[in-house]
């Protein structure tokens, strides 16, 4: 009897040890290289009617290896930057390869990943002057399109779990700002939020979270930025405000600038935390350690 209790305790401890150990601080070499030997997910281009914009809009959807219509999946909405569109992540961040490789190692909860076009306006292509006022404003307009058009479309067309605990939002730069604005503004819709190198479109902390305690309902609040990135102040001020208000979150300052090397690493780390129990304090300490 005593022995079996000891065994159980030892087993539980070894589990804690392995899960901490196997959460690597940085993506290992080859994490983003296609491996023909592993099962692949599938990428579809979908078109949906946007009542908010009055046009048909496009998004890419990645379904995981072994995807079955009869099962129900959580969903991650993954947003691009100011120069991109629905294909930016796919072309430059290769989430399909990173995630295929993670699935092969058993590191992910099976999920659907939606890559939307976050420039919500009639001509949503990343052409001409991408810094023009109406194009920048269209990144804010996307909140309506996402909540009222895209999410309902995905929930009709794909077998997905529809509660907040099964819906995540993350993004890079302008998409990171959108993520924090929309995610923290709609905690009833999203329980998992990840801002990567968030841009100046990130609302000021007081406006972002007038009632900071509300953010305690989140399962994961991830804020990361490269240490060489000029946009660091937007992540830092958000994290500082959360710290002042004792809101659990992960603040990850990583080596690097404003580029896909950083964002691929972010996706690699962030995706492994999704839709499973996460101790943010522990991950924070792990990411800070040498
Ligand atoms: C800015 C600097 C950077 C800005 C947006 C960005 C709207 C976005 C960068 C990106 O998405 O990569 O002043 O203002």
Q: What is the mean pLDDT of residues 55-65?
A: 98
Give me the pLDDT at residue 21, please. 46
Q: What is the mean pLDDT of residues 18-35?
A: 81
Tell which wins on pLDDT, 178 or 23.
Answer: 178
Give me the pLDDT at residue 185, please. 98
Ligand 1 lined by 201 (C-beta under 6 Å) = yes
Give backbone dihedrals phi and psi of 251, rounded to 5 degrees, phi first.
Answer: -120, 115
CA-to-CA dists, residue 4 to 7, 16, 27, 81, angstroms? 5, 19, 38, 54
Instruction: Give, for 221, the enclosing helix (H) or strand (E).
Output: strand 220-226
Contact 59, 103 (CB under 8 A): no
DSSP codes of every residue in 56-97: EEEEEEEEPTT--TTS-B-EEEEE--TT--TTHIIIII-HHH
- Residue 101 Cα to ligand 1 middle (Å): 31
Ligand 1 lined by 199 (C-beta under 6 Å) = yes
Q: Strand, helix or coil at 253?
A: strand
Contact 202, 180 (CB under 8 A): yes
Q: Which of 12-16, 80-84, 281-285 is least confident?
A: 12-16
pLDDT one-digit tens code per residue, 208-238: 999 999 999 999 999 999 999 999 999 999 9
- Residue 173 Cα to ligand 1 middle (Å): 7
Contact 136, 82 (CB under 8 A): yes
Residue length of the chain: 290
Query: Which CATH superfamily does the domain covering 2-288 fall into?
Result: Alpha/Beta hydrolase fold, catalytic domain (3.40.50.1820)
Give me the pLDDT at residue 83, please. 98
Q: Which of 11-20, 91-100, 137-146, 249-258 is least confident?
A: 11-20
Does 2 have pLDDT greater than 80? no
Does 9 have pLDDT greater than 90? no
Give me the pLDDT at residue 23, please. 77
Query: Counting atoms of ligand 1 from 1, which one is nearest the CA of 258?
Result: 12
Give backbone dihedrals phi and psi of 169, rounded to 5 degrees, phi first.
Answer: -135, 135
Q: Which of 3-12, 40-49, 52-61, 190-199 is least confident?
A: 3-12
Round to whole Å and give the CA distance between 101 and 78: 18
- Which of 118, 136, 174 should be mutated for ligand 1, with most atoms under 8 A from CB? 174
Q: What is the mean pLDDT of residues 102-115?
A: 98
pTM for the structure as a whole? 0.93
Mean pLDDT of the chain: 94
Ligand 1 lined by 200 (C-beta under 6 Å) = yes
Ligand 1 lined by 113 (C-beta under 6 Å) = no
Query: Counting atoms of ligand 1 from 1, which one is nearest the CA of 82?
Result: 11
Does 150 have pLDDT greater than 80? yes
Lookup result for tokens 């939307």: 116
Ligand 1 lined by 136 (C-beta under 6 Å) = yes
Does 175 have pLDDT greater than 80? yes
């Amino acid at each position: 009897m005593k022995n079996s209790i000891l065994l159980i305790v030892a087993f539980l401890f070894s589990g804690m040890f392995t899960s901490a150990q196997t959460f690597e601080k940085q993506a290992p070499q080859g994490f983003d290289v296609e491996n023909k030997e592993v099962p692949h997910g599938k990428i579809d281009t979908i078109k949906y009617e946007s009542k908010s914009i009055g046009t048909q809009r496009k998004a890419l959807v990645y379904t995981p290896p072994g995807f079955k219509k009869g099962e129900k999946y959580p969903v991650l909405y993954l947003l691009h930057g100011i120069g991109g569109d629905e294909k930016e992540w796919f072309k430059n961040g290769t989430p399909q390869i990173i995630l295929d490789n993670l699935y092969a190692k058993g590191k992910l909860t099976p999920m659907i990943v939606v890559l939307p076009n976050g420039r919500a306006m009639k001509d949503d292509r990343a052409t001409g002057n991408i810094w023009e006022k109406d194009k920048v404003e269209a990144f804010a307009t996307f909140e309506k399109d996402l909540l009222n058009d895209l999410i309902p479309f995905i929930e009709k067309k794909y077998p997905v779990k529809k509660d907040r605990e099964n819906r995540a939002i993350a993004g890079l730069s302008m998409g990171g700002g959108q993520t924090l604005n929309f995610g923290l503004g709609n905690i009833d819709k999203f329980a998992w939020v990840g801002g990567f190198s968030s841009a100046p479109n990130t609302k000021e902390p007081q406006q972002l979270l007038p009632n900071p305690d509300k953010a305690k309902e989140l399962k994961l609040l991830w804020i990361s930025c490269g240490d060489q990135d000029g946009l660091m102040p937007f992540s830092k001020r958000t994290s500082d405000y959360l710290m002042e208000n004792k809101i659990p979150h992960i603040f990850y300052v990583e080596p690097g600038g404003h580029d896909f090397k950083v964002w691929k690493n972010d996706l690699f780390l962030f995706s492994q935390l999704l839709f499973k129990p996460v101790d943010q304090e522990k991950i924070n300490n792990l990411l800070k350690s040498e």
